[in-house]
Structure 1
Amino acid sequence: MTPAENRHLPADGLWSIGQLAERAGVSVKTVRFYSDRGLLPEAARSGGGHRRYGPDALDRLRLIRSLRTLDLSVPDVSRVLDGDGREDVPEDVLEDVIAGQLKEVGSQLAALRWREAALQLLTDCATPQERAERLRLVGAVSTPPGTAALARFWRCWLPARLPSRVVTAVVDRAVPVPPDAPTPAQVLAFARLQDFVTAPCFVSGPRAGTDYGQPEVHASGKGYRPAVLYEGLPEAFELAGPDVRAGRAPREGEALDCFVAVHAAALNRRDTPDFRRTLHRMLAAEPRIDRYWQLASEVATPPAETARPTPGSIDNWLRAALSSSNPPMAH
């Protein structure tokens, strides 16, 4: 409170609710609202039962208004006020509240950017049929979008009884993070990706040996060790990553050797020329989810940039390297 405001205090040093409201530039209803919620304690009551407020109430009311202007909730304002000057309350209460508010605002901005890109996507349509199809796709996506459907797809697609830490690691690598400021093309790619993973053939549960099903190594009862496969593949992908990013042709080398060794360990085999030929045939016959990886790449990469390698594109590179190292046998 300023010295001038202090000079205008009544003789008893207390303001009525109307006097406090007038000096703070708010309505009596506002002062009463904050008082009733414990944010603005009254100093006393008059003989007629009217609320009276001390000189510190004006500064506190101004602080409350400042915090509310930042759209802080009443409970958050209460946390800040309770922590003001108290030794038993952490000094970073305000910082925590502001950080939470920034996170919420960021989420709101991301939602607005997704809505804007989705609207632009619907504007840029060549035909009514294309607009109707895009509307169906984007209408099924929340804003900002969540990735729960994508995670469920991987948890269903991966083999049963895989250790939870391995499942978590695979999901983290395979599920793209939706961009905060997407282009219309990225919105469409994400909508198509969600539509892909929620197709009936996936929701009902993929099975080994079926279209869009699981690889043979996922099948139980054959002595396969899929946990070994999924724990070892990241190393092979890491080794092959630089070649894929540089656009180099698939080739033999350390990355392919690691890739084959991991599959051999998972299948309880040794890495021999005969095993490599067998592995090549096995992988060539496996069901594919290339559509997933293509869309995941489009979600993660703006159209003007070079596509970023995904686990799927690196896996394809390694399979091509295995194929080139196993030429068809002469008849």
Structure 2
Amino acid sequence: MVLPHNLLSIGELAERARVSVKAVRFYSEQGLLPEADRSGGGHRRYAPQALERLRLIRSLRALDVSLPEIARVVAEHTAEDGAGDGFDEGLEAVVARQLDSLGAQLAALRWREAALRLLHEAAAVERPELLRLVGALGTPPSTETLARYWRGLLPARLPARLVAAIVEAAVPPLPEQPSPAHVLAFAQLHELTAAVNDACLAEHRPSPPRPDMLYDGLREAYDLAAPALLAGRGPAEGEALDCFVAAHARAHDRRDTPDYRRELGRDLAVGDHPAMRRYWALAGELTPAPTLGAVNTWLSSALAAQLVTDRGAPPR
């Protein structure tokens, strides 16, 4: 059999592409580099276009693109003769996925570095306990344990949209550039929420008659109060406090009156459960934004200050 004179042997193709014969054979066996024919002795022969395809494959492999992904890109490249919207979109999608994957890998490495620094900088006597805490986390860690804690804590009758919004606001995001202190705070937060069982959640789960009215109103009050915390202003009367009190009142089918404010003030003065105070303290170490706990404390303090002022005011 006489072969077309422009076909390339596997050795010629490898030499022109500056890769090994073994690599060419591997890509051929994976179906990425189809042969055009075989010689009389059974040796592979490739069309000249195989050189461009091989270079494309090698470029994608250099970016750590998987073989299945390469197969899709190469197929689009071949179908459109090396150009076209389909090929461009396919290549763009592959690049985007590689960027996402690389971002996840870098996040894991940054977290691992911070965890190792925490252990390295700790006193020898502290390392076993720190290793236990850090070892319970993934790399990078997941916030799912914290989210599950909040989903169990919120009232069962709360609409799904509110549950999602509250969980998102209550679970602190992981820092993009974690420090050893961040690792320790999150590890302690993870342990705190993982240790809470259903019975404990039921004991501390708030259950007003109308929980949706409470949490919808609290979200609005927190949004109004957060700028004051960011600006460093102390608790004060105003729209945020009025919204806060109204949310509690509506949830219990009450009206916002001076008597109700005094009653609410007494209830809030009891304070949060110690585990919840611990939660917000640790969450505050992970984010510069005011936590829901910090905003709630600010509003509770604003109400307490108003009640003190009202008691001292002369009767009208």
Whether the TM-score (by the shorter chain) exceeds 0.5 is yes
CA distance in 2, matches of 1:53, 1:73: 23
Cα deviation, 1:77-121, whole Å, max 9, x if unaligned, reads 112111225268363111110111011111111111111111111
CA distance in 1, matches of 2:60, 2:12: 22
2:128 is the counterpart of 1:132: yes
CA distance in 2, matches of 1:245, 1:23: 63
Cα deviation, 1:4-63, whole Å, max 9, x if unaligned, reads xxxxxx961111222222332222221111112221111112233321101111121111
Q: Which residue of 1 aligns with 2:267?
A: 282
- Asked if structure 1 preserves the Cα contact closer than 8 Å seen for 2:11 and 2:21, the reply is yes
2:205 is the counterpart of 1:214: yes
Q: Which amino acid aligns with 2:73?
A: V
Q: Percent identity?
A: 56
Check 1:268–1:90 CA distance in 2 against 1; reply closer, same or farther (3 A cut).
farther
Check 1:207–1:187 CA distance in 2 against 1; reply closer, same or farther (3 A cut).
closer
- Asked if structure 2 preserves the Cα contact closer than 8 Å seen for 1:114 and 1:182, the reply is yes
- Asked if structure 2 preserves the Cα contact closer than 8 Å seen for 1:250 and 1:318, the reply is yes
Q: Which amino acid aligns with 1:320?
A: S
2:120 is the counterpart of 1:120: no
Q: Which residue of 1 aligns with 2:5?
A: 12
Which is worse superposed, 22-31 or 69-78? 22-31
Check 1:242–1:180 CA distance in 2 against 1; reply closer, same or farther (3 A cut).
closer
Q: Which residue of 1 aligns with 2:290?
A: 309
Cα deviation, 1:191-226, whole Å, max 9, x if unaligned, reads 111111111xx2334345x4xx223xx26xxxx111
Please report the RMSD computed on the Cα atoms of aligned residues, expressed in angstroms. Answer: 2.0
More helix by share: 2
Q: Which residue of 2 aligns with 1:45?
A: 38
Q: Which residue of 1 aligns with 2:102?
A: 105
2:155 is the counterpart of 1:159: yes
| Number of positions where the alignment pairs a residue of Structure 1 with one of Structure 2 | 303
Check 1:89–1:205 CA distance in 2 against 1; reply closer, same or farther (3 A cut).
farther
Q: Secondary structure at the match of 1:52?
A: strand
- Asked if structure 1 preserves the Cα contact closer than 8 Å seen for 2:150 and 2:167, the reply is yes
Which is worse superposed, 142-151 or 22-31? 22-31
CA distance in 1, matches of 2:267, 2:132: 38
- Asked if structure 2 preserves the Cα contact closer than 8 Å seen for 1:214 and 1:287, the reply is no
Cα deviation, 1:256-307, whole Å, max 9, x if unaligned, reads 1010001111111000111111111222335431211111111124xxxxxx
- Asked if structure 1 preserves the Cα contact closer than 8 Å seen for 2:213 and 2:247, the reply is yes
TM-score (norm. length: structure 2) = 0.90
Check 1:81–1:131 CA distance in 2 against 1; reply closer, same or farther (3 A cut).
same
1:87-102 to 2 correspondences below 5 Å: 89=86, 91-102=88-99
TM-score (norm. length: structure 1) = 0.86
CA distance in 1, matches of 2:192, 2:98: 35
CA distance in 2, matches of 1:21, 1:271: 82
Cα deviation, 1:212-242, whole Å, max 9, x if unaligned, reads x223xx26xxxx1111111121110111112
Q: Secondary structure at the match of 2:286?
A: helix
